[in-house]
Amino acid sequence: MMKLTVTPAAHKWFKEEIVVNEGQGIKFYGKVYGKTQVHDGFSVGMAVDTPEKPLITENLGGRLFFVEEADEWFFKGYNLVVDYDDDLDEPKYEFNEA
């Protein structure tokens, strides 16, 4: 099973930049266009959403981060590390083999 890790720097950015209502969290998913270190033509998307069938969750300081079962195809065989890019002032994503 995949592991989802949100670094302290990324968690701080999400707390400061993204408003999440009760019952919602930050969802990570595969989206068309872009590139990751393991996908060509796809990139990591991020949205505030309500979990329906989470594949994996990470709760940090009362803030939920998750990946839905429907996006397992994108993350299959990998762990996702969500970090913070100081230069771009935005999250960055790293895939590690599971």
Annotated domain spans of the chain: 4-97
- φ/ψ of 39, rounded to 5, equals -130, 140
Q: Which of the 8 DSSP states describes residue 51?
A: -
- Confidence (pTM): 0.90
Task: Tell me the C-alpha to C-alpha distance, in Å, between residue 27 and each of 6, 21, 41, 47, 87.
Answer: 12, 13, 20, 5, 23
- DSSP-derived 3-state class of residue 14: helix
pLDDT at res. 84: 97
Task: pLDDT band for 98, please (50, 70, 90 cuts).
Answer: confident
Length reported for the chain = 98
pLDDT, tens only, 31-86: 766 566 666 666 889 999 999 999 999 999 889 999 999 999 889 999 999 999 99
**Which of these CATH numbers, 2.60.300.12, 3.40.190.10, 2.160.20.80, 3.30.300.20, describes 4-97?**
2.60.300.12
